């Protein structure tokens, strides 16, 4: 198979879809790999690193799309890429279709084979290709939240860990999944006072078992959320509905209940966000303020730490890329039901149940 690795062109996206080690493995399986010039530069991989293991370096993104049967990316194609995608071309990347009607209709129109990292699902319900980026984003949420709590950036002026004689900051985490657990670990490590909320008692019991005693759990409902947001300094939104839009757990009117300078970080922004006032931001302009509440809603948080993120992602995607390349997408998805769950749009038709009806399609 001919596999293409284009340079990511979304704002401040420095990750790349494959490392030189991945190219090496594909070449050993007799596949051809095209890499756009400087595609790996943001993650610390030079063109020479790729060419040394057998990749063919192409100058432009148009050449990569034109030469390839499968495109391996990190983020969803943006508008300037839509017309580069060919009928029956395989795209393997994060899509998050539920948050973009434009992207969904474009991929239907192009009649491509769209396999989404975020819906590849194991038998136990876990999402192996979403997990590493959720781990990165969960940890980053605290790192970024702590920074934006500083007064010069319009935060409350709180040091999360406190100091002797001064109480630590209070962190509220909505969702006890991968993002929530990783965020809680980081916040607890800084010495913050941490509350994790969820509707799943099994997840709350897990958090209670594995995290330190100063991480407490609470069952999530609207009344309880309204009470907690009044007293917390940093609020992390980390809820996920597989393939669907995230629920709006914090509404516009709730912002007035928060202390001025409270920071809210919406890690669910890729799936539409779990705060009513969420709108996607970039690493160039990461925050905005509504009702004196600082919103951090960067849609590609792991892109700020591309070396770590690229390695973590390709650790889990490469085996699936090899299956698709070796067997073809249809046979690979038939043999591996986990991979099969990643099929979202095939030749102009939506084939992922959770997407049906979201945009009246």
Which residues are tagged catalytic? 96, 270
Place of tokens 């839509």: 82
Q: What's the rounded Cα separation, in Å, for the pair 6 and 57? A: 10
List residues bridging with 219 in a β-sheet.
198
């Amino acid at each position: 198979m001919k596999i293409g690795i284009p340079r990511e062109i979304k704002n401040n996206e420095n990750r790349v879809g494959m490392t030189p080690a991945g190219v090496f493995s594909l070449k050993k399986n007799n596949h051809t790999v095209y890499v756009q010039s400087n595609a790996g530069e943001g993650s610390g991989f030079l063109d020479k690193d790729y060419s040394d293991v057998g990749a063919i370096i192409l100058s432009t993104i148009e050449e990569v799309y034109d030469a390839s049967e499968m495109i391996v990316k990190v983020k969803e194609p943006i508008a300037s890429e839509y017309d580069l995608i060919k009928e029956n071309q395989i795209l393997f990347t994060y899509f998050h279709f539920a948050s973009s009607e434009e992207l969904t209709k474009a991929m239907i129109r192009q009649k491509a084979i769209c396999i989404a990292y975020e819906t590849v699902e194991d038998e136990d319900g876990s999402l192996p290709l979403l997990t590493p980026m959720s781990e990165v984003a969960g940890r980053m949420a605290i790192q970024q939240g702590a920074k934006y709590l500083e007064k010069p950036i319009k935060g409350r002026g709180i040091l999360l860990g406190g100091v002797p004689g001064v109480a630590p900051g209070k962190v509220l985490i909505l969702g006890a999944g991968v993002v929530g657990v990783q965020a809680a670990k980081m916040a607890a490590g800084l010495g913050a006072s941490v509350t994790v909320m969820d509707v799943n008692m099994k997840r709350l019991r897990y958090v209670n078992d594995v995290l330190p005693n100063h991480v407490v759990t609470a069952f999530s409902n609207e009344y309880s959320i309204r009470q907690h947001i009044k007293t917390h300094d940093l609020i992390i939104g980390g809820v996920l509905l597989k393939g669907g839009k995230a629920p709006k757990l914090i509404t516009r009117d709730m912002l007035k209940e928060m202390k001025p300078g409270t920071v809210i970080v919406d890690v669910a922004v890729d799936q539409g966000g779990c705060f009513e006032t969420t709108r996607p931001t970039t690493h160039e302009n990461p925050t905005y303020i509504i009702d004196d509440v600082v919103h951090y809603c960067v849609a590609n948080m792991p892109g700020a730490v591309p070396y770590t993120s690229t390695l973590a992602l390709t650790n889990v995607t490469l085996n699936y890329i090899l299956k698709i390349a070796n067997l073809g997408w249809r046979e690979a998805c038939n043999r591996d039901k986990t991979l099969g769950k990643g099929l979202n749009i095939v030749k102009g038709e939506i084939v992922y149940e959770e997407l049906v009806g979201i945009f009246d399609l």
